[in-house]
Amino acid sequence: MFNLIVSTGVQSDTSGTILAARVFEYTEDALKIRFMPNGRLNVSDVMSFPTVFMQEGLDDEVAGVGWLSRIELQGRDYQLNFALDSAVPRLTNKAIHEMASDLRMDEWEFSRNHWAIKDVDLFRILYKQKMGERPTPRVFPLSQTPVNSKLVSMMMPFAASSTETYRAVKAAVEGAGYECHRADDFWHNPHVMHDVIELITTSRVIICDLSGKNPNVFYEAGIAHTLGKEVILITQHEDDVPFDLRPLRYIPYLNNGEGRQDLAMKIVARLQTVA
C-alpha cells in the first residue's frame, strides 16, 4: 500500500502542502472508510506507508519516494513533512506513467492535485522495473519465499512470562482463520536470527510486544517497519514504548487471564482491517 501525493505545494525535499478537500480522491471507497473514519484522517496509519511525491505532468517532472513524518491540518491545507528514501532513485512522471496500470493510477491523476491511497506494493513494482534495489543485508539473508497472506508472527522475548500471552493470542488469531507463529515454533536454520528474519519476511502482519523494553524486539520491529510490513505494537506498560514509536498506535494490555483475552480480541479486530 502507498500514498500518492500530486501537488504543486510540494516544492522541496522535506515539506509541502495538499488541499484537504482533495484527500483520497481516486481512492477506493473501502480505503477511504478505513483511513478516514468519521471524516478524520488516520494520521498514524497513513504515515506507515511509503509515499510518492510528484507534480502534475506526463514528462520529465521529477518525483520522489519517501516517508511522511508529520501531517497537520492548517486551514484548508494539510501541512506535510517528509523524508525522501535515499535507496530509491528519483523518478520522472513519464516513468511513473509507464507503470500507471501496475500502480492502479488513472490517467487523470497526472493532471490534478490530489492525495490518493493505492492498495499496491509500491516497492515490488519499482523492483520489477529495476528502479529500486532490493536491500541486501550483510548480517542475515532475506527470505525469497513469497509472503503468506494469512501468516501472523509474534516478536516477543523467549521467556516463560511471555508464553501465556503468546498462547492466548495464537488461539484467537488461528480461531479467526489465520496462522500464528513465533520463531521458536520451528528450527529451519542453524542461526535463530535467520529463522526470525524468515518469519518476518514471509508474514503479512507482525505483532511486536514491547513489554520490558526487550532490545531484540525493538530490533525486529525496526526490520519489520523497514520491510513495509503491517506492524501491531502491544505492551503491558506505556513507559516501555520508546520515543520514536510513541506517534504510532499500540495496544496496552494487562498480563492476566482477562487482560490477555481482551488483547487477543483487539488483535483479531485489527487483523480484520489490515490483513
Residue 132 has what pLDDT? 47
Residue 88 has what pLDDT? 82
* Residue owning grid cell 514504548: 241
The percentage of residues in the chain with a pLDDT greater than 70, rounded to a whole number, is 94
Q: Is the pLDDT of residue 131 over 90?
A: no
- HEC profile of 191-247: CHHHHHHHHHHHEEEEEEECHHHCHHHHHHHHHHHHCCCEEEEEECCHHHCCHHHCC
Residue 191 has what pLDDT? 67
Mean pLDDT of the chain: 89
Q: Is the pLDDT of residue 66 over 70?
A: yes
Q: Is the pLDDT of residue 188 over 70?
A: no
Its sign, for the CA torsion 45, 49, 54, 59, is: negative
Domain ranges of the chain: 2-128, 148-274
**Residues with Cβ within 8 Å of residue 104, at least 6 apart in sequence:** 118, 119, 120
**Residues with Cβ within 8 Å of residue 216, at least 6 apart in sequence:** 155, 157
Q: How far is CA 109 from the centre of its chain?
A: 24
Could you confirm whether domain 148-274 is CATH 3.40.50.2300? yes
Query: pLDDT tens digits, residue range 36-60?
Result: 998 899 998 999 999 999 999 999 8
Residue 272 has what pLDDT? 87
Q: What is the DSSP letter of 106?
A: -
**Residues with Cβ within 8 Å of residue 221, at least 6 apart in sequence:** 155, 206, 208, 210, 231, 233, 245
- H-helix or E-strand containing 31? helix 29-35
